[in-house]
Amino acid sequence: MADPSIVIVGAGPAGIRAADALARHQLRTVLIDEAPKGGGQIYRQPPDAFQRPYSARYGFEAAKARAIHRTMERLASTVDYRPSTLAWNVWNRQLDVLCAGRPDRVPFDFLVIATGATDRVLPLPGWTLPGVYTLGGAQIALKYQGCAIGHRIVLLGTGPLLYLVAYQYAKAGACIAAVLDTSTAAAKRRALSGLAARPRTLAKGLYYRAWLAAHGVGVEEGVEPGSIAGTGAVSQVSYRRKGAEKTIQCDAVGLGFGLRSETQLADLAGCRFRFDADSRQWLPECNTDGESSASGIYLAGDGAGIEGADAAELWGERVGLAIAARCGRPRDSARIAAIDRQLARLARFRAGLERAFPFPAQHVSALSADTILCRCESIRVGEASAAIRDFKVGEMNRMKAITRVGMGRCQGRMCGLVAAELLAAQTRQDIAAVGRLRGQPPVKPMPMPWSSPP
Amino acid sequence: MNPNASSPSSTDESVQPQVVRLVERERPVLAFTLDGAPASAREGDTVLTAVLTMRRHLVEAATDGPCSGFCLMGACQECWVAVDRKPVRACSTLVTAGMHVATRRHVIGG
């Protein structure tokens, strides 16, 4: 009897480790990835024309990146690898995919959703001006294209990525005018016991901070974001700190407040979601094997909840082993137990990070009425607030239907979390009570027409 | 044309381009067409990078004002342009020699 068909969406650290674990049990997978090369975002491989060594591209993560890429190379000949392929819908135990204008359908008995994450953002007045990018986008400009997002850059937000990007940029010769962290030094001190669960990672973070200080890159904590201004493009950022209003001239801003999970396929697959209070996001429910509420559908990596690249690799392997056992292979209990111990430590670290770098939800209520909330549809905070009031909106999908927030091309990726904070604050509800945007296929806009399938 | 030179635009006052090449600047040059004018990029550039090493915006002012992309990872959907008359995301599309890039929204119907 043939082995069940196992499909993995996402060739980042989680998807690659899942495919690898299954391959070790002689189970072939279909590995679908939107990118042309494996590695996800954190270990994203630049186009072939770029030749600089791993140490220059990935810094302290060079060894991990190399290991992931080598694994991918090894797997490419043993899995059914579909790069540059978008999985845009899932229903009836099939994935709808599109590659180079050709649609296809991929049936599965087991599905691993390893779709990763994007930046979590907070709107500011002027944030839609040219020159404003996410922190992740700023990092990709350097990692993937060898470029800086501007000549004189302000990085604003919170989270470990803020310091990592500042360090990577300054080290590569970019001009970082300021690093503005909304979280306070006190919040970080309170989080130390959780962060100490991963002493090497904590040490790296402290090293980046020390390096920035030693190289004259200004870092300010406890910052209250103000506004971004410019004529036609960014020329300055304003903020408040310790009661004083400050302005910095710049031509680019990197904006980011942690990450948010890409859960659209899990939603379309019918997975049950739960509200995660630590990260203030709705996430698909998973059991200890990484299986969702939908039988045979597993989740791994940041797409299931933000835990970082190391956790993504472990979860990928974990779900691979769980699926292998479901396919009749011996259950590798020793390895599973070892993974679970490491994941527990990573979860403690993760909780520490959320305490050290909390999403500054309190700033959402203070957003000025003319701040753009929904970038795609150019809907301002004031318009959305008025509609919430006038139509007595209390829930996210009604908010979307009435205001168009979340109805644009990004389908709520950029605005959805903040829209929920706004709705909850204005209607004086708990953030979990306003619900989440219902997903619709396709998960991303797709160019038409398509050529007909073979 | 020097790939790092800027082209003046009516929508912004700055003459410097948005994006700065930091490392591996000496890759082979590729010639392409941007909004009907000759342009050049380096092999390995995405369309987004190539355009932003010449000016400060990707898409010219339409109803929403000028924009220059945002997430660089195919999530925000703000960098749609037309390449050889087909819609693509500029951040996810590599420049190839001779490609025709059109960034004006009324042309690509975005």
Does A142 lie at the interface with B, CB-CB under 8 angstroms? Answer: yes
pLDDT at B13: 46
Share of chain A above pLDDT 70, in %: 99
Are B77 and B89 a contacting pair, CB within 8 Å? yes
Q: What is the mean pLDDT of chain B?
A: 85
Are A134 and A414 a contacting pair, CB within 8 Å? no
Indicate the burial class of A203 (C-beta count within 10 angstroms; 0-12, 13-18, 19 or more). exposed
ipTM above 0.90, yes or no: yes
Contact flag B77-A148 (C-beta cutoff 8 Å): no
List, in sequence order, every residue forming a beta bridge with A87; answer none if it has no partner: A97
pLDDT at A310: 97
Does A185 lie at the interface with B, CB-CB under 8 angstroms? Answer: no
Contact flag A134-B27 (C-beta cutoff 8 Å): no
* Alpha-carbon radius of gyration of chain A: 22
Q: Which of B55, B70, B81, B93 to mutate to test the interface with A (most CBs of A within 10 A)?
A: B70
Contact flag A130-B12 (C-beta cutoff 8 Å): yes
pTM, rounded to two decimals: 0.95
> Closest approach of chain B CAs to the CA of A4, in angstroms?
32
Instruction: List, as ranges, residues 32-71 from A with C-beta within 8 Å of B.
Output: 34, 41, 46-52, 56
Indicate the burial class of B16 (C-beta count within 10 angstroms; 0-12, 13-18, 19 or more). middle
Q: Which of B15, B77, B92 to mutate to test the interface with A (most CBs of A within 10 A)?
A: B77
Q: Which two tokens stand for residue B82?
A: 């037309």
B2 backbone dihedrals φ, ψ, rounded to 5°: -65, 120
pLDDT in tens, A19-55: 999 999 999 999 999 999 999 999 999 999 999 999 9
pLDDT in tens, A393-449: 999 999 999 999 999 999 999 999 999 999 999 999 999 999 999 999 999 999 887
Contact flag B18-A131 (C-beta cutoff 8 Å): yes
Contact flag B73-A118 (C-beta cutoff 8 Å): yes
Residues A46-59 as b or e (16 or more Cβ within 10 Å = b): bbeebeeeeeebbb
Does A372 lie at the interface with B, CB-CB under 8 angstroms? Answer: no
Q: Could you read off the pLDDT tens digit of each residue along chain A, which spans 454 residues?
A: 578 999 999 999 999 999 999 999 999 999 999 999 999 999 999 999 999 999 999 999 999 999 999 999 999 989 999 999 999 999 999 999 999 999 999 999 999 999 999 999 999 999 999 999 999 999 999 999 999 999 999 999 999 999 999 999 999 999 999 999 999 999 999 999 999 999 999 999 999 999 999 999 999 999 999 999 999 999 999 999 999 999 999 999 999 999 999 999 999 999 999 999 999 999 999 999 999 999 999 999 999 999 999 999 999 999 999 999 999 999 999 999 999 999 999 999 999 999 999 999 999 999 999 999 999 999 999 999 999 999 999 999 999 999 999 999 999 999 999 999 999 999 999 999 999 999 999 999 998 877 655 4
Residues A266-297 as b or e (16 or more Cβ within 10 Å = b): bbbbebebeeeeebbbbbbebeeebbbbbebb
pLDDT at A454: 44
